[in-house]
Structure 1
């Protein structure tokens, strides 16, 4: 009989985890419900990755749709509309899709007497742990509308960052694809036709022309091997990333990349500070907030350091003192955290730090894209120039021989 590991919410809203034996995933779900638990993650022992389970933290809807739903719900809650009616109204406004289907199920759970946070926890693919925990804290503190407003603001800002990155990368990617396509066309179609003239002349060819001919022959003769390698790269990479040690190595390498490493670090710091600040502002206890933030931060190098931070804070240490011991957390973040701890406004200082790092990331991204665009144009011009030179040099030499 297989064993399943689970994470669930108790009737009081507390997060619990453990394992149980069941004949199937469905039977395991029934056992958990029989114990009064609402599962948010269920994984058969021996499974390699949480993503292979049907219960994961991956959202099934876009951040834009989720932020819009959250904003509408906050407005209805602030207007004292009962939750059941509010959810019914939101279901009617949504188009048929994953979010609408999830909201229908949430509405049914609320009708059965569940709180909003527990009802949302039943849809872990859409409402992540941080989302549910903040809603639960808002319910407990009687400030659900304010918490939902902060959540909507955060989701909108994260969507803006994502859109900015996507927009910035779209032009360079397009340039690389177009430039690569042009070069492949020249090397596999145009060059072979021109080269046949040079080969018939039996004249000595320049080195650059010989090199280009060899590249052309290789591409025409072994294109299938290159295509197979490119296709196989994706599944091989996914399989390799199932190993924790390789994922850690990858994340370490990403942080050490020139230019991109510093930008990635600022993006991680921004997300860490803003999520932690938002959780604390919503009334989530600091240990629980650190645990959730560790799940939100996807870089495993930072996750490892955050586990150490959690241990020190659990033993009575300060957050700023714990962060100071790691080189991954810069002095500005440590200083603002210390000021917040002394002034009793740690959540505000963390959000301020997150905003600062987000602005630094945006500024660096703008500068990098401004530098990349002319460099890509130059690289494409250089590549085409080499091809043209490799073709023209033998032509000039042939003309000299004829004269």
Structure 2
């Protein structure tokens, strides 16, 4: 999908400028003509290496979803709703996208099919849910659920990022102080002791070795970090390399806990929204499984989907993955028996969300004093290593 900028004359004989998304120049002209515009000039918008314009983000998709749900629940037709949203000032960033969707709907495509032309903006989950809403005739209700889901995921991500700001700043400041001390302060002070050629305390000798090693090896350490970063960047799409890396990661207990508290709740939330929208359980499992980033864990959930297809219950299939905790499994089993599996999936996901937030809060409460203690201990070590030989010199005098 390309973006074209145009200058045209509208029905009021006024010259207007804008942009429109289309597959090619011919389709762009057709879209503008169908809107009653006389095109004066049109050209493809070239994308620079650094795009200074803000691209649509989750909050923009959420606003689009919420507004569309409001229009449809008010009895407005889909085409009129999309046409009105394209003119909304609050949807300026999404305007080319909405125009592209609007044109596809006019051509007879369903909303789900129209959204699939923007895979970077509308995920498989989004399109599958919209398709289910169209089939069931409850598109406005499904859109409202989708907006709630996007908001929940966005705020959960924001909460984690905000919680990490303070410790990240503390670590950054601590590293900068250490770098400054080891490269600027300590070498100049220790040079005085070298000139005197006196016997130095053990702490001072250790500090001198650390300072010398830091100056010598820091460029090599920086080079190693750059090389490792380059290797990761080059192999990010290499499935063989990625699978080996993911195999190494799941051997780490901290990483496993992180997956269980972040991606498993997301899987359960997604299953809830798809099932409650009318999507069958196999399709729901297929779409939800794609949200898991670790390839080996994703394989486990794909195997669970296959087992459900073969006739095993959903809860047993999840239990065999060994990635869903017992509390969530009990809730899912209860939902299977009562016929309220979607509600129980949401409850299980909520419980995991609460546990994750408690884990983050506890970890941060422990991390902050640890950073202060380590930084204070290092500064104390530097001060003592400098003062001890000074005291020795005074005693000799």
323-332 vs 287-296, which moves further: 323-332
RMSD across aligned positions (CA): 2.2
| Partner Cα separation in structure 1 for residue 258 and residue 223 of structure 2 | 33
Change (3 A) 1:206 1:100: farther
- CA 1:261–1:372: 2 relative to 1, 3 Å: farther
SS at the partner of 1:325? helix
**Structure 2 alignment gaps of length 5 or more:** 1-22, 25-53
Whole-Å Cα distance in 1 between the matches of residues 56 and 94 of structure 2?
6
Which of 138, 144, 150 is the aligned partner of 2:139? 144
Q: Which of 235, 240, 250 does residue 230 from structure 2 map onto? A: 235
Match of 1:115 among 85, 90, 110: 110
Superposed CA offset, 1:284-321 (max 9, x none): 11111111111112222321111111111111111012
| Counterpart among 58, 71, 80 of residue 75 in structure 2 | 80
Q: 2:374 aligns with which of 371, 374, 379?
A: 379
2:156 alignment partner in structure 1 = 161
Q: Which stretches in structure 1 are left out of the alignment for 5+ residues? A: 1-25, 28-58
- In the aligned structure 2, how far is the partner of 1:93 from the partner of 1:384? 57
Contact 1:71–1:152 (8 Å) recurs in 2: yes
- Do the aligned partners of 2:126 and 2:146 also contact (CA within 8 Å) in 1? yes
Report the counterpart of residue 101 of structure 1 in structure 2.
96
TM-score by length of 1: 0.81
Contact 1:61 1:126 in 2 (8 A): yes
Equivalent residue number for residue 399 of structure 1: 394
> Structure 1 residues 208 and 243 mapped into 2: Cα distance closer, same or farther (>3 Å)?
farther
Change (3 A) 1:228 1:119: same
Change (3 A) 1:260 1:396: farther
- CA deviation after TM superposition for structure 1 residue 362, in Å: 0.8
Q: Distance in 1 between matches of 2:201 and 2:238?
A: 49
Deviation at 1:122, TM superposition (A): 0.8
**How many angstroms apart in 1 are the aligned matches of 2:205 and 2:93?**
57
Separation in 1, partners of 2:207, 2:296 = 43
Deviations 1:310-356 (A, max 9, x none): 11111111101212223212112222221111211111111111111
Equivalent of residue 70 in structure 1, options 65, 68, 71: 65
Partner of 2:45: none
* Count of residue correspondences: 347
In structure 2, the partner of 1:40 is: none
Structure 2 Cα separation of the partners of residues 286 and 96 of structure 1: 34
Tell me the distance in 2 between the aligned counterparts of 1:223 and 1:266.
Answer: 36
Q: 1:303 aligns with which of 298, 302, 310?
A: 298
Q: 4+ runs of 1 displaced by more than 4 Å?
A: 94-98, 252-256
Question: Are the equivalent residues in 2 in contact too, given 1:270–1:354 (CA < 8 A)?
Answer: yes
User: Cα offset for 1:118?
Assistant: 0.8
Equivalent residues of 1:129, 1:292 under 8 A apart: yes
Q: Deviations over 1:233-255 (max 9, x none)?
A: 32212234434344334445544
User: Greater CA deviation, 341-350 or 238-247?
Assistant: 238-247
Instruction: Tell me if 1:179 matches 2:174.
Output: yes
The structure number with the bigger radius of gyration is 2
Deviation string 1:107-141 (CA, Å, 9 cap, x unpaired) is: 12112221111111111010001000000100000
Deviation at 1:144, TM superposition (A): 0.4
Alpha-carbon distance in structure 2 between the residues aligned to 1:267 and 1:396: 55
8 Å contact kept, 1:134–1:147:
yes
Which residue of structure 2 lines up, in the alignment, with residue 315 of structure 1?
A: 310
Tell me if the contact between 1:313 and 1:322 (Cα under 8 Å) persists in the aligned partners: yes
